Amino acid sequence: MLSLCGCTDTRSYSPVPATASAAAPPLPALELLAVQQGSGRPVHLALTPRGLALVKQRTSSGLHSLRLGNPSSTSSRIIPYRYILAATTTHPQPATGDPLSTLSLSALVPSSIRDPDSPSPLRLYRLDATVHDVGGSHDPSDHAARRSAADDWCAELERRAYDGVERTRTFHCVVNPHGGKAKAKTVWLDAVKPIFDAAGCSYDVSYTGPPGSPSHAHSLGLSHDPASYDALVALSGDGIVHELLNGLAAQPARPARALRDSPIVHVPCGSGNALATSVYGPARATDVRYAALCALKGSPLPLDLSSFSQPDPGPGPGPAQQQQPPRRRYTFLTQAFGLMADLDLGTEHLRWMGDARFTLGYVRGALARRRYPCRVDVRGPRADKARIARTHNALLERGEGARAAGAAAGGGGGARGVDGAAEAGAGAGAQAGDEMPPLVFGGVDAPLPEGRRREDEWVTLDLEEQGVFFAYGGKTPFVSKDVMLFPAADPNDGLIDLVLVAPMSPLAALTAMDNASTGGLLSLPSVTYLKCTAYRLSFPPPAPGAKDGFISVDGERAPYAPFQVECHRGVARVMGFDGRWGGRTRIEGFDDDGGKAK
């Protein structure tokens, strides 16, 4: 019971129950009574199994008037512990003669008060209040005991808020002030920085510059020191993440370890934000404060990288050209050829439109009935859509959290300490050393190796006459906030999801995207969906005088030339919650007999 010291009345207070059927309130020592500074409103706080219960008097009519069961006189909410940032007390100096301490509380609060677990956008909430009682078990005149109890209450709240993760982390924040809608700097100053400051973490900030400069994202990744930071926080679109990963992979000493020890936190500030959508889920894809919270309290998720290689033009024609090793970069997201590359890179001048530029480009391509001749060589393809869907669903039901937790063995819930991730969870073919994996299959011009097992065989799809609407390889479910092109994608299975879409009529092409946000393309007859460990794509050169087409790698332009993609399992890390990718969902519509459900 809380005895309201200093008041003319004494009341009994019960904390807001954790559930409607809660049998008993938490212990009195978990309750705190304060008066909000400025407004003078009484505030009752209690630590419950569900989170911090906060009941606030609507008017400043005195502590004795706080009625928990009267909704007309009080407002209440439960803040899940995950959203608590910090709780501290400040004690007055003896010379002031003020016996009361001050509580400072910071949290991220969903905009929906009645549903604290709703995916509504978060906002930063602050409470500064004068502490009047803690637990109700202390003599009102024993100020030292009350101060100690207030300290203990804050310590217990922070213990629950940071259970399993480090209390403080250090970040290298990379801000792209020019990408997407040019809002990243504003997001940093107005949303992310205040959260990091409230949580008391440390950070360094780098603003990206032009290619070739020391501040270009690739250069920042190249010079990044994993031992000095817990994570790389990218306030950008997917392109900056691509450059950071490639910079880490190019470090002269122990690049693979640098990738494993530098988990990426994506704060979505771009046009597509495919990584953020895949990690946090579509409902949180644009919530930059949720992404900042993930930096503070998330844990590393293993992420495959793939080598994207093309012939190196070399010094000129002749034998020397054939001896040049292929040009190589790493891709974590997608590789696009055909219409999808055109609408990604051919609409750069429309970045101010955000996601709408992709829709506009797609409609234009559908109406023009574009067709792109090509040849695709695929290693060990799995092509049965129903079997792919059932396998995906079974993995989700077993829980990818256990596999991700095993992959982070040695690091607990922390951001660091993931040295054993590849060995523990990535499985066969995982990169566990300090150096980047070699190209197993050579370049795109190398002869196709003969496979002794079915999963090693290369299968050729000659589409030079038929052509494709587009060819798309990927590692994450989403390619933008509203398009789930790879519903069966597992970012850490060592496989590339490859989608080949046959030419369609304008009407069929336009209706094909009706269910794109939920992965509906998988069930379309015109879509070939493969999972493979590597693939090659080649195509006829442009006609004389014609412009080159587009090839997109993680949204960045690559030379218009044949290419090979080869997957390396568990090489990189991104920050997520609960050991899972929020964008991975069950694929509906496939029955147990392997057919498409009607």
> pLDDT tens across 97-123, in order?
567 899 999 999 987 666 656 678 999
Boundary-marking domain end, from 144, 161, 178? 161
Contact 326, 564 (CB under 8 A): yes
Instruction: Quote the pTM value.
Output: 0.86
Residue 507 in tokens: 């009407």
Boundary-marking domain end, from 161, 194, 216? 161
- Report the amino acid identity of residue 95: A
Q: Which residues contact 107 (CB under 8 A, 6 or more apart)?
A: 52, 79, 83, 84, 85, 124, 125
Do the domain assignments include residue 429? no
The secondary structure element, H or E, covering residue 493 is: none
Residues in the chain predicted with pLDDT less than 50, given as ranges, are 1-28, 66-72, 320-321, 401, 403-412, 417-429, 594, 597-598
Residue 558 in tokens: 């690559």
- Report the amino acid identity of residue 190: D
Q: Render 369-424 in DSSP notation, one character per residue.
A: T--EEEEEEEES-B--HHHHHHHHHHHHHH-HHHHHHHHTTTSTTSSS--TTHIII
Task: Tell me what percent of the residues of the chain surpass a pLDDT of 90.
Answer: 58
Give me the sign of the Cα torsion angle 288, 289, 294, 296: positive
CATH code (residue 123): 2.30.29
Residue span of the structural domain in which 46 resides: 28-161
Tell me what pLDDT residue 16 has.
35
Tell me what pLDDT residue 9 has.
34
Do the domain assignments include residue 585? no
CA distance 380 to 566: 12
- Report the amino acid identity of residue 420: G
Boundary-marking domain end, from 115, 130, 161? 161
Count of structural domains, the chain: 2
Q: What angle do CA 520, 523, 525 make, to 5 degrees?
A: 130
Helices (H), 250-370: 255-260, 274-280, 288-297, 319-322, 339-345, 356-368
CATH code (residue 455): 2.60.200.40
Contact 559, 329 (CB under 8 A): no
Tell me what pLDDT residue 430 has.
52
Give me the sign of the Cα torsion angle 137, 141, 142, 147: positive
Do the domain assignments include residue 59? yes
Do the domain assignments include residue 417? no
Q: What is the pLDDT of residues 300-328, one digit of tens each?
A: 999 999 999 999 876 555 554 455 778 99
Tell me what pLDDT residue 241 has.
97
CA distance 536 to 307: 11
58: exposed, middle or buried (Cβ count in 10 Å: 0-12, 13-18, 19+): middle
Do the domain assignments include residue 351? yes
Do the domain assignments include residue 86? yes
Contact 421, 262 (CB under 8 A): no
Residue 8 in tokens: 């003319």
Contact 121, 152 (CB under 8 A): no
Tokens 């803040």 correspond to what residue? 79
Contact 280, 267 (CB under 8 A): no
Tell me what pLDDT residue 8 has.
30
CA distance 49 to 60: 29
The secondary structure element, H or E, covering residue 116 is: none
Tell me what pLDDT residue 119 has.
76
Do the domain assignments include residue 204? no
Do the domain assignments include residue 257? no
